[in-house]
Amino acid sequence: MNNDASKFSGKSRREFLLQGSILAGGLIAAPILSKANYFSGADDVIKIALVGCGGRGTGAAMQALLSKQNVKLVAMADAFRDNLDDCYKALNADDVSDWSGSSGNLKSKIDVPEERKFTGFDGYEKAIALADVVVLATPPGFRPIHFEEAIKQGKHVFMEKPVATDPAGIQRVLAAAALAKQKKLNVVVGLQRHYQNSYKELFKRKDMIGDITSAQAWWNNDGVWVRPRKPGQTEMEYQMRNWYYFNWLCGDHITEQHVHNIDAVNWFKEGYPVKAQGMGGRQVRKGKENGEIFDHHFVEFTYADGSILNSQCRHIQGTMSKVDELMIGTKGRIQCGAANIIDAKGKILYQYDKTKENNPYQTEHDELFAAIAKGEYKFADAENGAKSTMTSILGRMATYSGQMIEMDKAINSGLDINPKIYDWSATPPIVPNADGYYPVAVPGVTKYF
């Protein structure tokens, strides 16, 4: 088999197959599971384990339990007991609801006694062992470890995006994704635009604009929460509580949030960039509590055919908010937010009826659990999730360094920004100086190659 990982970025989504060096740790040698080894009966309870009990984990668990299948939450795991307790309480409310529009009463679908509630850094292994399907919703730095374990144990997976925060993590996810395919394990990644009716209809008609020659993507808004340091916290606990501001946990907001928009363009391009260059920095959000991440990024991604994606994301209060994607072709353009296709003169060629829009966060769970209940193997999202996540990491490397970064070099760099030891008393990969400030990348000074 071809095991040249350098062909990553020049191949289309249909052509790409990454083997060899990424299949590390002996994963590929695991036996292939037959149909008898995975769930195959609609009359049986599909047991769910939730790993990561924060806000997104609570929402994802809710959506899984609101699917039409015979499902039951049987295990929960989180590094922090208070997160787990808050999640358990929320799911057991008389009428649960979340920001995505999902709602209902879930009490009859929850069976998580005290002995099936796991905390600490290793609780995920125990929770995964008890389930048929695992929902992974921790901060993304943990995703490669948890996904690898779930596939090793032969479980179907729903995992939130992004799927890693560094190239080494991407390699682990790609290796586990290859094994998931061999085992015929369904994997859905929370890049929900792939499950949104308007995007799917636009994708079907993308040939109406001819060849896509350029694109634009935005994730500009006010930013997110800050969780201040509390007395008695170790540095590890502080960073995990305030995880959004540390790259080993979050990957910066270009990876944590803007991956949605970047992935949408990759999807419509049916390929991935070969290089990137850009600019970014910390203009407003630069306090001690803001860790090491930038508050703005602007990246020019170049695809193998020479087309360009101009990508911008910003977290600055009081500025223009915009979350959208635009694809420009030789005959017209696709406006994803407006859900329409227009020709070069501005005439609307197609308009999606937004009254028919679905809740894609719910749909991705509905379709996953329907396939599992039928014993079908239908979903293999992990490979694309890894490659779109890697695209966002490529952008971060470009803005942090101020250099043109090639995808081949980045994906094969072995760059690993995660801890070597996971323990509350362990030293994280980055620590503050004597004044409490964290080191921040400086374009022109920060180097990768």
Please tell me what DSSP assigns to residue 45: -
What was the pLDDT predicted at 104?
77
Q: pLDDT per residue over 135-174, tens digit each?
A: 999 999 999 999 999 999 999 999 999 999 999 999 999 9
**pLDDT-derived band of residue 54, with 50, 70 and 90 as boundaries?**
very high
Say which residue the tokens 């952008």 belong to. 395
Token pair listed for 86:
């808050």
Query: CA–CA separation, 44 vs 317, rounded Å?
Result: 49
For 120, the token pair is 């600490």
Residue-range domain boundaries for the chain: 5-193+362-380, 197-355+390-411
Instruction: Give, for 238, the enclosing helix (H) or strand (E).
Output: helix 235-241
Residues 219-275 pLDDT 10s: 999 999 999 999 999 999 999 999 999 999 999 999 999 999 999 999 999 999 999
Query: Are 375 and 41 within 8 A, CB to CB?
Result: yes
Integer CA distances (angstroms), 243 to 14, 176, 231, 300, 442, in order: 35, 25, 17, 27, 21
The tens digit of pLDDT for each residue in 382-429 reads 999 999 999 999 999 999 999 999 999 999 999 999 999 999 999 999
331-349: pLDDT as tens digits? 999 999 999 999 999 999 9
Amino acid code (one letter) for 177: A
**Is CATH 3.30.1330.20 the classification given to domain 5-193+362-380?**
no
| Average pLDDT of the chain, as a whole number | 91
pLDDT level of residue 1 (50, 70, 90 thresholds): very low
More confident residue, 26 or 68: 68
State which H helix or E strand residue 275 sits in: strand 275-281
Would the pLDDT of 11 be above 50? no
**pTM for the model:** 0.91
Query: Mutual orientation of helices 360-373 and 55-65 as an angle, nearest 10°?
Result: 50
Residue 29 predicted with pLDDT over 50: no
Backbone angles phi, psi at 10, to 5 degrees: -90, -5
CA 33 to chain centre: 26
Cβ–Cβ under 8 Å, residues 237 and 358 = no
Say which CATH topology domain 197-355+390-411 has.
Answer: Dihydrodipicolinate Reductase; domain 2 (3.30.360)
